[in-house]
Structure 1
């Protein structure tokens, strides 16, 4: 996963909304005509002039939005406002929304779609699309939990400092200290919004609060918060970065002392206040899990499905698709079960794979076992990297590394996710593997997981998107979950055609990963539309997938915290496969998978219907 969500850009929702929908997902498509790239079209003088103007306008809008978000600036590799956090107040987010709506109206008044070249037409449509989605989302802007068991500023703020805030100079170090000093205000702003949500009846289920409390306590455990000899997460990170600087020992000691004071006077009270809020709310809430429990919950969930899938599919249609896909994949798994000679039902085979009685499918849950896992995952990616010429004409320049999830958040984080590289090359793309319990990361799923998060999956798509030339920045740094995660899941399938997954257990792992995404369609709609309980959803996955119980529980808790997000993967993959089959049938021997992949990736992330237009236009051109 992307994290997506962030996942995933580690910036405020207000800032993301304003970046022309950058990082947001969209709903249904507008009904304008198919487009092609600018290089493929003969443009008139009027088109050239209007195109140049609107592209400049897009950049001005992007820069204006980035200027409102110090955290986005850091994510983009910039060191402007390097000592500040985002403004997380409700007033600031409302202002951001109003600015986005004003920009939409300005674009419509100043530019005519018909006077733009095809590439600029696509940019116009996407800018409009995402702004219109924000309009649809506006009534539900405060339904998305500020804090949850799976995500929130209590975990993302320290992760941001550790992974995003580089310390190359004395000034960078001082900016880090300033951010530590500002964490109290930043978390208090988020806390104020969470308390307002609670008063409106919007809060996670009761069981989630214990996990939020644990994560928060992890941040303020160790030195300088107590007498422990172990350094806390943030102090350890800061000291390592300071020790690597070429400055005097006196300067290093002064910085470390100031950082410790900031942690005691700002970070600690901020987290203590959060813990008090979590404990107070937990005492009064119940364990209802789904979005249906929220004010106007049915409409909210319908909006979430539209946002995540970029389709108009109903919850019922998605649920039925999931059941159908689960049955199909079970049939394919039965074939592998027979191939390996297992004597028993498919469900008994699931139990065998899950419990691994012979210890064949799990690395030891030790530091050495974790290092061995990371090394093997890196090797899998390196082998695939050596064969990319078979699949792509265009390949990313950015580097990719494999890293384990940090200890402070590993109990609540997902099993794997990807973080984009810095545009300036200062930070590589990162495939995060959650190795808190290696039993939740079976070896038979290693190949598919590495392909999904790394190459040819998220790193391939997102790094190429950031490196696109002559494309407005809001498109290079934006995203649509169905497209992005659909590509990730499609990328698990591609290696099968190349002869990978030669071990039948590994091929079973590939199917297990696809089955997981199909089952998500069932449990997400079950939880949020059909009022399933957490336990009912867990039981469904345990019965219908081979995944370990810890993996299952963590996944269901994630789906509860992020309504609709889990439905995007399979719907996106199905659409990409559908378009590929259509192209293969239409072009026959002239079909080149490398050209098809370039068409899918050349414009960055797109809503699925607009992606379909682009592929159909390419097919027609090839036939002509």
Structure 2
């Protein structure tokens, strides 16, 4: 899933050149005092609110994703020293203010909030160490988290940016100009990186060239940026509609296409020759230290690459044994590798149309809804829609992804399924993908948090990858409780997805700490799972582009599952999965140490 967390826009932009695609809400007022709140709780809530307000001013895109349009006339001064300096100072000031609050005098929930805020801010601040920052900002775009991967959809009329009023259309014109300026600044940073030998791998560069080619080849009226003026709300007068169509066409022709061409030509004609043949961070000066930082930033745990690698090897071996059992259950004669080939190639598993995928996912959703209340007492109010990935970016997108809605229901949560290269969209993977991305996965995790107005904004709308993706993978493990994967082939889909996350521990660390090549990594994934080569290739190239992020899934899932097993053993017959899931979800995204502490306290209180 391509989900980035709004509170961590700073980290995403700073560390990966990305912008988040999560969460939504209108302007967030200061939280009202709760029963039991004292002066320290009030001070903490004021700190959180003031910090969030200041962050929204510096990061207008965050506000737009949340439905807050106060600063929507601008995109933000991303990829500038002024931006980095302001973000660093804000976090330093926030941490100093937090230290002045006596944690011992806070309520239990506010102690949790204190701990999460402290941990997240500390980790982000360490990313501003000059050597870490330099390695990241001189590689400002990649093919997975670059601005070109998020902004066109954002501004398309189908993304987070609204197009309901005349001001919305005018604001988008301004943001589009600033987006072009961001791309030009990225060229300058890339050139600095060339001089310092801090550059992207060649394969990342080639993937970006293809993305910019796709955007350029759309032309003017076929451009995703022209889509908002193809259909207007009735409230926009006809004269303004005509004027805006002319303005949008002119901007695409004179500003956006030239900006895309400048970037495309720079990458192809200059930067590619300077790019690395190697794919791992360890091959770049200072890369090993950066990777060590990224492991903790993504998992929220101070893990070492070697330990993560060995954990992955153990998990791969365990899951292979379960796959062998499913092979035997269907009576397949041959090796596990032969079974993988059968699953990849047999026509019965390949959809024949995009409509077949759509109908299949809608049917799965209905089946899950019938059972989900057996496991969950908290059900989000935000509606869910099922849509195909937009065609312009389907080639480089994951098989499924989730884009959050707004708490007020004005924008639904969206589960996207990918229809690119239909024969590779195996139907045996549909149930597990839905559980992860939609219900009870990211749709529940994100919506329940952002609908909880008692939480500070950074807990409603922010988070960390280990929690978010750990929950998504944990949600897949509820297949039996939700009556899914009763067909051994669908169960193989579940095991295949779990295997993917286990292999990530091996391959990500293999690439960035052990010198594994792209082809070696792809071969390892194909040898240990039935995933299609196109998917294995996209996965490996993703790990190359965004080191460390892929580790968070399995680490987070193992932490949640471990906490559940520990609670079940301690509580016995008193253990209620609905109460456990409420504990995990009702305070938003927690770092793994804070989550474990919260569940321990809940168990100590008798699971109530």
Alignment of 1:552-571 (within 5 A): 552-571=536-555
1:457 is aligned to 2:470: no
Matched with 1:592 is: 576
- What's the counterpart of residue 155 of structure 2? 161
Deviation at 1:342, TM superposition (A): 0.8
Structure 1's consecutive aligned runs of 4 or more residues displaced over 4 angstroms after TM superposition are 7-17, 21-24
8 A contact 1:329–1:511 mirrored in 2: yes
SS of match in other structure, 1:455? coil
* Alpha-carbon distance in structure 1 between the residues aligned to 2:135 and 2:475: 33
Q: Deviations over 1:529-568 (max 9, x none)?
A: 1000101101101111110000100000001111111111
Aligned to 1:120: 110
5+ residue gaps, structure 1, are 25-37, 225-229
Distance 1:240 1:199 in 2: 44
Structure 1 residue aligned with 2:243: 254
Q: Show the counterpart of 1:78.
A: 68
Contact map agreement 1:15 1:69 (CA 8 A) in 2: no
Rounded to whole Å, the distance in 2 between the matches of 1:586 and 1:167 is 52
Count of residue pairs brought into register by the alignment: 587
The offset of 1:15, in angstroms, is 7.4
**Counterpart in 2 of 1:544?**
528
1:8, CA displacement in angstroms? 7.7
CA contact (8 A) 2:337 2:527 kept: yes
Say which SS state the counterpart of residue 411 (structure 2) adopts: coil
Q: In the TM superposition, what is the alpha-carbon distance from 1:208 to its structure 2 partner?
A: 2.2
**1:150 lines up with 2:144 in the alignment:** yes
Superposed CA deviations along residues 395-444 of structure 1, whole A, max 9, x for unmatched, are 11111112222222222222222112124432111112222112332100
Check conservation: 1:15, 1:66, Cα contact below 8 A. Answer: no
CA shift in 2, pair 1:8/1:105, >3 Å: closer
Residue 600 (structure 1) shift = 0.9
- State the partner residue of 1:514: 498
How far 1:166 moved relative to its partner? 1.4
SS of residue paired to 1:431: strand
Structure 2: runs of 5 or more not aligned: 23-32
Partner of 2:121: 131
* Shift in alpha-carbon separation, 1:70–1:520, aligned structure 2, 3 A: same
Q: Distance in 2 between matches of 1:265 and 1:390?
A: 56
Asked if the contact 1:355–1:548 (Cα under 8 Å) also holds between the matched residues in 2, the reply is no
CA apart distance, 1:255: 0.7
- Aligned residue in 1 for 2:350: 362
1:524 to partner: Cα distance = 0.6
Residue in 2 that maps onto 1:141: 133
Alpha-carbon shift at residue 174 of structure 1 (Å): 2.0
The match for 2:169 is: 173
How many Å apart are 1:386 and its aligned residue? 2.8
With normalisation by structure 2, the TM-score equals 0.92
Does the residue aligned with 1:147 lie in a helix, a strand or coil? Answer: coil
Q: Distance in 2 between matches of 1:69 and 1:331?
A: 48
C-alpha deviation, 1:231, in angstroms: 1.6
Distance in 2, Cα, partners of 1:562 & 1:180: 25
| Bigger shift: residues 210-219 or 323-332 | 210-219
Residue equivalent to 2:471: 487
What per-residue deviation string (whole Å, max 9, x for no partner) do you get for residues 360-397 of structure 1? 11112xxxx11321232122123212322101111111
Quote the offset at 1:143 in angstroms. 2.9
* Partner residue, 2:384: 400
Q: Which residue of 2 aligns with 1:336?
A: 326
SS of 2:395's partner is coil
Q: Distance in 2 between matches of 1:169 and 1:195?
A: 40
Q: What's 1:412 paired with?
A: 396
Using the TM superposition, give the Cα deviation of residue 69 of structure 1 relative to its aligned residue in structure 2, in angstroms: 1.4
Return the alpha-carbon distance in structure 2 between the equivalents of residues 181 and 607 of structure 1: 37
Matching of residue 472 in structure 1 with residue 456 in structure 2: yes
Q: Secondary structure at the residue paired with 1:622?
A: coil
Pairing 1:157-556 to 2, within 5 Å after superposition: 157-162=151-156, 163-224=159-220, 231-235=222-226, 237-242=227-232, 244-279=233-268, 280-356=270-346, 359-364=347-352, 369-556=353-540
Would the alpha carbon gap of residues 272 and 150 (structure 1) be closer, same or farther in structure 2, given more than 3 Å must change?
same
| Contact 2:299-2:465 at 8 Å conserved across structures | yes
Deviates further, 324-333 or 372-381: 372-381
Instruction: Tell me: CA distance 1:432–1:363, structure 2 relative to 1, closer, same or farther (3 Å).
Output: same
Aligned pair in 2 of structure 1 residues 408, 68: CA closer, same or farther (>3 Å)?
A: same
What is the rounded CA distance, in whole Å, between the counterparts of 1:427 and 1:439 in structure 2? Answer: 32
Contact between 1:219 and 1:234, CA under 8 Å: does it hold in 2?
Answer: no
1:576 and 2:567 matched: no
Which residue of 2 is the match for residue 227 of structure 1? none
Q: Deviations over 1:490-549 (max 9, x none)?
A: 111112233321111001111111011111111111000100010110110111111000
CA positional deviation for 1:277? 1.9
Deviates more, 1:321-330 or 1:423-432: 423-432
> Is the deviation greater in 369-378 or in 505-514?
369-378
TM-score under structure 1 normalisation? 0.90
Please give the alpha-carbon distance, in whole angstroms, between the structure 2 residues aligned to 1:59 and 1:9: 12
Partner of 1:35: none
- Mapped to 2, the partners of 1:363 and 1:436 lie a distance apart of 11
Contact 1:362 1:442 (C-alpha < 8 Å) held by counterparts? yes
- Deviation by residue 1:587-619 (Cα, 9 ceiling, x = unmatched): 111111101111111211111111111111111
Alpha-carbon distance between aligned partners in 2 of 1:15 and 1:471, rounded to the nearest angstrom: 25
SS at match of 2:581: helix
SS in 2 for 1:295: coil
Are the equivalent residues in 2 in contact too, given 1:183–1:266 (CA < 8 A)? Answer: no
SS at the partner of 1:233?
A: coil
Q: 1:200 to 1:23 in 2, by over 3 A?
A: farther
By how many angstroms is 1:11 displaced? 5.3
Q: CA deviation at 1:16?
A: 8.3
SS in 1 for 2:402: strand
CA distance in 1, matches of 2:387, 2:196: 40
Structure-2 separation of matches of 1:253 and 1:623: 62
